[in-house]
Amino acid sequence: MNKEWKHDNEDGSYTVRTCGWSPPGDHPVGCGMKLTVKGGKLVKVEGDAEHPISQGRLCVRCLTLAEYVHHPSRIISPMKRSIEDRGKDKWSKISWDEAWDIIVPKILQLKKDHGAESIVVFGGTGREACLYYYPLGFASIGTPNVCYPLSGWSCYGPRCAITDYILGAGYPEIDFAGTFPDRYDNPEFKLPKYIVEWGKNPLMSNPDGFYGHSLIDMMKRGTKMICIDPRITWLGTRAEYVCQLRPGTDTALAMAFLNVIINEDLYDHDFVDKWCYGFDELKERVQEYSPEKVAEITWVPKQTIIEVARIIAMNKPTAIQWGLAVDENPNGVQLGHAILSLGAITGNLDVPGGITLGAPAALLGKWRMDTRSNISEELWDKRIGAKEWPALANALATTHPDETLDTLETGKPYKLRMGWFNSSNFITATNSAQPDRWYRALKSLEFNVVQDCFMTPTAMAFADIFLPLPTFAEHDGIVITHFGRNPVFLGAMNKAFTVGDCKSDIEVCIELGKKLHPNMWEFDDVPDFFSKQLKPELGIDFNDLRELGVYQPKYTYGKHEKGLLRPDGEPGFNTVTGLVELTSTLFETWGDDALPYFKEPPYSPVSTPELFAQYPLILTTGARTFTSFHSEHRQISTLREITPDPICELNPVTAQNLGIIEGDWVDLENMFGKCKMKVHLTPCIHPKVVHAVHGWWFPEKPAEEPSLYGVWDSNINKLVPHKHIGKLGFGAPFKQMICKATKRAARED
Amino acid sequence: MSSNGLLIDYEYCTGCHSCEVACKNEHGIPLGKWGIKLTEVGPFKVTDDKFEWNYIPVPTSLCDLCESRVGKGEKPTCVHHCLAKCMEYGPVEELAQKMAAKGKKMVMFIP
């Protein structure tokens, strides 16, 4: 890429090259773009053709960036609200100094009177804040309680933990030639023959740093798709196979694939003999999962199961991409274990065109680990739910989310008194189950700070201080794919202009940190901070990165053969046995089965037939759209023009039986809650299944309580129960509940 | 005198709407109007295991094939930003040859 990242234009404007992250939200995909600014306003956004991954392409969320940046509702100055006015739209603008003059004494008082543990930092997902909300908690504030409130931590975390325990590597991602400047033309790269999308639709989700439309790039070059999904998506119509399974039965399907591959002797003997532990035990276990039996369980035809299993085993390389459906499932740990085993025994781990593995230590992750040193052993011991859930507590630095709600509700083992909500709007249908229950419990907090760009239901309900965040166009930073756990590149985020009086996540960390724990924050400024991360690991500083545009680290395949996965430098995997654990030593230690098994969802036609008679639809949720990132973007008119309403999908036959037609509003209801959605009829969903979108609230609805922007109206997470999680503490039934659908009286909401 | 057109490979159009929004940005087209608009055919079953589901963006009379951008040696903004890279701009004779070479799921527009 061109060294010059900023240049002046003839008409008095200037153009800055940058890589995108958030806010506005998305995962760390880091798309390249050129931002043109004139008179302090963003006047043009153009995709950067030089960027090796995005190559000039931009999705509608970046294309509408100017609408977001200059939106009249955006909050661009700190605000305060008196506690009596919580829930009311009664804010006064303050300066940052005034904000700190309220926040800092309050933190000091709480630490003195009740201990630092009485303060909890809540994070969201995907945004840049994911890198910074932990250090904010541990090293700026000094609390051991950093909470990702999603029941069962059902998002990315379980997959990271499973990978840690079974492979001892960084995150597994399919090979899309991301680390090569010449991409698919690089001689080291091999095109995947097949890509399996397991509960994942990257075209819309661009999960965690994977450039979703690389799937199209590879399909054009000959890669074939296999989709495992209860919905037949657009991608499914271009796939060679769609396993349209009953939601929540994925693990049975994975075990059936293993059954066929092992019994028909199609597995990679070399890899199994050299690098796998517990193959014989796995072989024995999968005998319980014949294709015939699993066809009954999953609704996937027996012949399809057999054919897909053979294809995966007999085509090298085949890459398997595992999605959120692995995490949003109480049986998800077992599913993830089975999927990794599938990749392992077919010899597709860390081979060109297969499943790449990150190194065990996240790139640029050392600093984040170091921030934990600010917390004493004694204080770290107080982390909510850590003792009860060691499998979670060992892999992740947060509290246990479900235990945290319990603590808020009961005041045990101690009372939480202050909440800091960074980029987390979780009383919407995002990262919480039974958000209405969280809403009631959060009322007990005596002081709250919220960081975000717009007023949200969560901020309106709880914030005493609102600290405005800048968009990625307005601050310096680094975007790194997979948060460093499988980095195909690092991109420079270059501040292009300033809007109002906002401070970025890292600016807030440093500023607050210098007031409360100065020894943890010995950085002169933000570029200094980034240079200190980059220099030791990569030998470049922040300015070098700006000139490079993106830095693609060299990728080494077959790291397990070269001693690059273990700290002792020996060949093998960084696990207890040094091998891929098809039988897990750690799961057994923590009280779960060492081998994968299928377990029915907590509510299903099989596990709760009487309830299913009342609630005869299987509810799955959360498929992504192009036009929003979780609860964001609802105030962006151009995006609302494309996606105006929250949609639930019903099969036309089901709808007919219920007297429902296209465009009707329906109530979706179960024993936990109720919400309304607009119906879209599609043959792509099974007659017994309904899909509902997440994240919906309505900036155009009344702001104050009880409405809170209509946050309860179409909030599908109300139907998902608290603490129905897997044995190791991971996984909640967001993608496999039951409900009924009833047409609403009026033909509008 | 050759005309220019837009060639779209709708085997790969994923319905992302980037063409719509990029066009609106470039030409200042407000809500309720489009210079190029995505249309959808399907999904419906063709056979027991094959579904028909196509997205096809259609340029309107507000489309000038990005004359100004092309004059500067750039691509039309829809083509530039398309996530699936399934759009091409050029003289219709050249596009027609590419269309025939691929042989299926191709459409060419002169707006």
Give A126→chain B minimum CA distance, Å: 20
Count the domains in chain B.
1
**Secondary structure tally for chain A: helices H, strands E:** 28, 28
Distance CA A588, CA A726 (A): 14
Residue B104 pLDDT greater than 60, yes or no? yes
**Minimal Cβ distance to A237: which of B22, B51, B82:** B51
Determine contact, residues A133/A423, Cβ cutoff 8 Å. Answer: yes
Cβ-based neighbours of A197, under 8 Å, separated by 6 or more: A215, A225, A226, A227, A228, A229, A235, A239, A321, A323
Residues (pLDDT < 50) of chain A are none
**Secondary structure tally for chain B: helices H, strands E:** 4, 5
CB atoms within 10 A of CB A305: 26
β-pair type (A737-743, A665-669): antiparallel
Q: How many Cβ contacts (< 8 angstroms) between chains A and B?
A: 87
Could you tell me the CA-to-CA distances from B41 to A408, A647, B7, B38, B53 in Å, in that order?
Answer: 50, 19, 18, 10, 6
Distance CA A111, CA A486 (A): 37
**Mean pLDDT, range B53-70, rounded to an integer:** 98
Instruction: Give the pLDDT score at B49.
Output: 84
Instruction: Give the pLDDT score at A747.
Output: 55
- Closest to A45 (Cα-Cα) out of A55, A37, A35: A35
- In one-letter notation, the amino acid at residue A325 is A
The domains found in chain A, sorted by start residue, are: 79-154+362-472+501-523 (3.40.50.740), 172-357+569-589 (3.40.228.10), 609-743 (2.40.40.20)
Give percent above pLDDT 90 in chain A: 97
DSSP state letter for A207: G
Q: What CATH code is carried by the domain that includes residue B70?
A: 3.30.70.20
Binning pLDDT at 50, 70 and 90, where does residue B1 land? low
CA distance between the termini of chain B: 16
Residue B59: helix, strand or coil by DSSP? strand
Instruction: Give the pLDDT score at A675.
Output: 97
Give percent above pLDDT 70 in chain B: 99
Distance CA A138, CA A587 (A): 28
Instruction: Give the pLDDT score at A150.
Output: 98
Report residue A4 as tokens. 């010059």
Instruction: Give the pLDDT score at A637.
Output: 98
Predicted structure pTM score: 0.98
Instruction: Give the pLDDT score at B2.
Output: 76
Determine contact, residues B57/B32, Cβ cutoff 8 Å. Answer: no
Q: Rg of the Cα trace of chain B?
A: 14
Determine contact, residues A352/A190, Cβ cutoff 8 Å. Answer: yes
Instruction: Give the pLDDT score at A435.
Output: 98
Report residue B60 as tokens. 């309107």
β-pair type (A490-493, A355-357): unpaired
Instruction: Give the pLDDT score at A728.
Output: 97
CB contact under 8 Å between B85 and A217, yes or no, is yes
Higher pLDDT among residues B2 and A487, named by residue: A487
Q: What share of chain A is helix, strand, coil (3-state, %, to 5)?
A: 35, 15, 50
Complex ipTM, two decimals?
0.98
Chain A residues whose C-beta sits inside 8 Å of any chain B C-beta? 44-47, 49, 55-60, 63-64, 66, 203, 212-213, 216-217, 219-220, 232, 234-238, 626-627, 637-638, 641-642, 682-684
Q: Domain range spanning residue B32?
A: 4-109
Instruction: Give the pLDDT score at B48.
Output: 87
Mind listing the pLDDT tens digit for each residue in B4-48? 999 999 999 999 999 999 999 999 999 999 999 999 999 999 998
Q: Give residue A530's region: left, alpha or beta (phi > 0; psi -120 to 50).
A: alpha
CB atoms within 10 A of CB A236: 23
Residues paired with A6 in a beta bridge: A16
Q: Which residues of chain B does A203 touch, with a Cβ-Cβ cutoff of 8 Å?
A: 14, 16, 83
Residues paired with A121 in a beta bridge: A146, A420
CB contact under 8 Å between B15 and A234, yes or no, is yes
Determine contact, residues A178/A552, Cβ cutoff 8 Å. Answer: yes
CB contact under 8 Å between A63 and B12, yes or no, is no
Judged by a CB distance cut-off of 8 A, whether residue B92 touches chain A is no
